[in-house]
Amino acid sequence: MSPTKRAYLRVCTLLLCALPVLAAEDPELIALKAAVKAAQSAGDNAWMLVSCAFVLMMTGPGLALFYSGLVRRKNVLGTMMQSFVMMAVITLLWGVCGYSLVFGEGNAFIGDFRYAFLNGVGAAPNADYAPTIPHLTFMAYQMMFAIITPALIAGAFAERVRFHAMVVFSVLWLFLVYVPIAHMVWGKGGYLNPFLGGRIPVFDFAGGTVVHITSGFSALLTAIMIGKRSGYPQERMVPHSLVLSFIGACMLWIGWFGFNAGSALGASALASSAFVATHFAAAAGAVSWMVAERIKSGKASALGAISGAVAGLATVTQGAGFVTPVSGAIIGFIAGFVCFYMVVLVKNKLGYDDSLDAFGVHGIGGFIGCLLTGVFATRAVNDALKLANGQAAPLGLVDGNPGQILNQFIGALIGIAFALVGTWIALKVTGLITPVRMDKQQEAEGMDVALHGEEGYAFED
């Protein structure tokens, strides 16, 4: 029983003793109930508004710095703009109909237009999703996820795609991939939603499938379809400022607390559990990537350490609020090793130019995180799913439910299928509207001057 409830009961008992003829409609009691409700709402809403801002900080400046430090100097602004423009464009589209198509009830695969233009989204909570915070807060919080997801993909085609093509592609991608998958996993009646009437229960606490699998696998396909950067891999293409990337990665780590712990949708013990599991996964990911690097090349690099932390964070996202902190650390360790192997060995062998490793970190991390959630999810952490008799349902393998791994696998495959098909369509349609790639001369000149008409570092008085 939470402290607020306990206090509430105590006050009620007192009132009942003092007033023997207290009627149920006693105005004081009603007022008291309302006050208790308002107090919980205030606490939850405070945390959720902070979380919401944290998740936005992950895109700008977090991801913007992380990615832009990894590109060449001439592309620093262009790369930052790819993140920032999502903050502007996706926000508006989310208000027009994005939110509604994800969280409107609709059918099993997509929502409807009931909340279009934020119609009916106000101070009153939405009881289905987050009964203690204003519906507006829930809408804004979810918006931040929709912003960062297409921004992640841009890492795969860094340094070679035209600005408006990137925007057109991202908008199409939002509606073809993000919207249906997010609805299926999180929307009421969604096909994969275990809590609100889904057919196949897939546990995705904060978006391992919705954000990382979709963006990661889409990233791989865009890298292949758009092609390599000219000069890759012969030419020297080193990160122009790992200092920027380092700051960005640290902001991602901090922002991820909003992403994962915020997904508890309240200032609850579950939020604390997700917070700690997230932190342990990041730490373990950083350690295992550094160890792998030390073994492979003799040196633990700064880029390796931050990449490992991000891999751990991406991988624990799916299970953050279903697994214990210790499981979070195990997930992070596995993530660091597997993503290192993908990024350092497999990618360079296969030869595709996933320039900033959106696939190697988010796609692979998201995928193994999805499966590992089926292993480590436990009702000891999250008892929201009930059996018919009212007891908490067993979640993953550790609860004696090995079948959940298969459910998670199916969820991942559906996410991958939507990502690949949706990306293919979005990129083809974008190509019909506007040329996707910068021409050779623009690419040589760099995105900053060629696409935006400015320089990131104009060292003049």
CB of 237 to another protein, least distance (A): 8
Burial, 377: exposed, middle or buried (Cβ in 10 Å; 0-12, 13-18, 19+)? Answer: buried
**Is residue 375 a contact partner of residue 334, using CB atoms and an 8 Å limit?**
no
Determine the interface stretch with another protein among 119-127, 229-237, 377-385, 396-404 (rule: CB under 8 A). Answer: 229-237
Interacting residue with another protein among 106, 304, 369, 422 (CB under 8 A): 304
Contact window for another protein (CB under 8 A) among 168-176, 209-217, 232-240, 425-433: 232-240
CA separation for the pair 263, 204 (Å, rounded): 10
- DSSP letters spanning 374-433: HHH--TTT---SB-TTSSBPP-SGGGT-THHHHHHHHHHHHHHHHHHHHHHHHHHHHHHH
Q: Of these, 307, 327, 404, 423, which contacts another protein (CB under 8 A)?
A: 307
Choosing from 92, 236, 389, 458, the residue that interacts with another protein (CB under 8 A) is 236
Which of the residues 274 through 293 are near another protein (CB under 8 A)? none
Q: Count Cα atoms within 13 angstroms, Cβ side, for 103.
A: 24
Q: Determine the size of the site formed for another protein (CB under 8 A).
A: 18
Q: Considering the rule CB under 8 A, would residue 231 count as an interface residue with another protein?
A: no
Minimum Å gap between C-beta 62 and another protein is 19
Token readout for 313 is: 């964070």
Binding window for another protein (CB under 8 A); candidates: 110-118, 125-133, 342-350, 394-402: 342-350
- The single residue among 247, 303, 380, 397 that binds another protein, judged by CB under 8 A, is 303
Instruction: Report the alpha-carbon distance of residue 295 to residue 42 in Å, rounded.
Output: 50
Contact 422, 179 (CB under 8 A): no
Q: Is 239 in the site for another protein (CB under 8 A)?
A: yes
Interface residue with another protein, options 233, 402, 403, 435 (CB under 8 A): 233
- Distance of closest approach, residue 347 Cβ to another protein, in angstroms: 8
| Shortest distance, position 296 Cβ to another protein, whole Å | 8
Alpha carbon distance 91, 89 (integer Å):
5
**241 interacts with another protein by CB under 8 A:** no
Cα torsion for 144, 148, 149, 150, to the nearest 10°?
A: 120
Q: Which is nearer to another protein, 248 or 415 (CB)?
A: 248
- Determine the Cα–Cα distance for residues 4 and 53; give it in Å rounded to an integer: 26
Q: How far is the CB of 192 from another protein (least distance, A)?
A: 33
In the complex, least distance from residue 247 CB atom to another protein, rounded to whole angstroms: 17
Helix (H, G, I), strand (E, B) or coil at 239: coil
Asked if 211 contacts 149 with a C-beta cutoff of 8 angstroms, the reply is yes
Q: How far is the CB of 239 from another protein (least distance, A)?
A: 6
State the Cα–Cα distance between residues 330 and 225, nearest whole angstrom.
Answer: 35
Q: Contacts with another protein in 355-384 (CB under 8 A)?
A: 357
C-alpha to C-alpha distance for 252 and 265, rounded to whole angstroms? 20
CA 288/CA 310 separation, integer angstroms:
12
Check residue 351 for interaction with another protein (CB under 8 A).
no
Helix (H, G, I), strand (E, B) or coil at 110: coil
Phi, psi of 250 (to 5 degrees): -65, -35
Nearer residue to another protein within complex by CB, 236 or 440 = 236
Q: Nearer Cβ to another protein, position 296 or 386?
A: 296
User: Minimum Å distance from CB 264 to another protein?
Assistant: 33
Q: Which residue has the tokens 């019909």?
A: 432
Which of 2, 13, 348, 391 is close enough to bind another protein by CB under 8 A? 348
459 near another protein, judged by CB under 8 A: no
Instruction: Tell me the window of 12-20, 221-229, 303-311, 443-451 that interacts with another protein (CB under 8 A).
Output: 303-311
- For position 197 contacting another protein by CB under 8 A, the verdict is no
Smallest gap from Cβ 165 to another protein, in A, equals: 26
Rule CB under 8 A: choose which of 17, 18, 24, 238 binds another protein.
238
Q: 299, 351, 390, 459: which one contacts another protein (CB under 8 A)?
A: 299
- Nearest-angstrom CA–CA distance, 263 and 270: 9
Buried b / exposed e over 128-140, threshold 16 CB at 10 Å, is ebbebbbbbbbbb
Question: C-beta of 357: minimal distance to another protein in Å?
Answer: 6
Q: How far is the CB of 348 from another protein (least distance, A)?
A: 5
Report the residue number, 347 or 379, with the smaller CB distance to another protein: 347
Asked if 440 contacts 450 with a C-beta cutoff of 8 angstroms, the reply is: no
Residues in contact with another protein by CB under 8 A are: 233, 236-239, 296-297, 299, 301, 303-304, 307, 343-345, 347-348, 357
